[in-house]
Copies of this chain bind each other. A is one copy, B any other.
Amino acid sequence: MVQLMAGNRLEPGRSTASRLLSVLDVFSIKAEELSLVEIADRAAMPVATTYRLLGELTKWGALERLPNRRYRVGLRLWEVGSLAPRQRDLREVSRPFMQDLYEATHENVQVGVPEGNEVLIVEMVSGRSAVPTVTRVGGRLPLHATAVGKVTLAFSDPDLLARTLQQGLPKLAPRTLTMPRMLIQAVEQARQNHFAFAVEEMTRGASSVASPVLARDGTLIAAIALVVRASADLGRLAPAVRTSALALSRELQRTR
């Protein structure tokens, strides 16, 4: 028998709760179905420990076990998550406005809220004729390379912009703004115009226009955007997005 760690713990100080939650962290849009070892690896925990925690999570319904012994996120977790008021209220109120915007343009409509250093997409309306996007409801978009992101930066606490610049502006597509000066200027413009563009900055062939959804006190609640093929005339679409954003803002201000 080899030497054991003190208390038999590889990482003393890490709480059981945080271990449990870090199991949930390993699931993502690119990894929605994982095996025991895959989860253990990604969560940086021994298999035995991971196995026990997975058992608890599965029993509760946070995860589901597939016949091929893999794990995926379960319905019970979705159910509890769908109670999150921040997304639920916004989503319910915005749906009709998004629908109208879709009818008028037949392009992809997205609504996102700031979450950490990204924008979390909370609702989407898209049809067959619109450009296919990689984005999904529940997915995240970067702040510096999207229209929703620029609008968010323009109407949030200034140090969100500072943090974004500090952690660098990764080049995601040929036309991504990678120079701080350029982004600062774009954000400044967004603040003045109440809308922002992003032309092939995130994905080649796709562009977007966004406008802010604001609370009574002027703070940003969300951003609404149209994602279109790069050849589309963004200038012509901007007023429609702006109008929807205003209507949505007014409706949200009415209810609270």
Contact = CB atoms under 8 A, between A and B. Distances in A.
Interface of A: 15-18, 20-21, 24-25, 27-29, 32-33, 53, 56-57, 60, 62, 64, 72-88, 96, 113, 115, 120, 127, 136-138, 140
A75 B15 contact: no
A62 to B, nearest CB: 7
A115 B28 contact: no
A82 B115 contact: no
Contacts of A81: 73, 77-82
B75 A83 contact: no
Copies per complex of this chain: 2
Nearest to A22: B60
Contacts of A60: 18, 21
25 contacts: A16-B17, A16-B20, A17-B57, A24-B80, A28-B83, A32-B85, A33-B85, A72-B85, A74-B84, A74-B86, A75-B86, A77-B81, A78-B82, A78-B84, A78-B86, A78-B138, A79-B115, A79-B120, A81-B82, A82-B137, A82-B138, A88-B136, A88-B137, A88-B138, A96-B127
Nearest to A76: B115
Given A21-B60, A75-B113, A78-B81, 19 more contacts: A16-B17, A17-B56, A24-B80, A27-B83, A29-B83, A32-B83, A32-B85, A73-B85, A75-B87, A76-B115, A77-B80, A77-B81, A78-B82, A78-B138, A79-B138, A79-B140, A80-B81, A81-B82, A83-B138
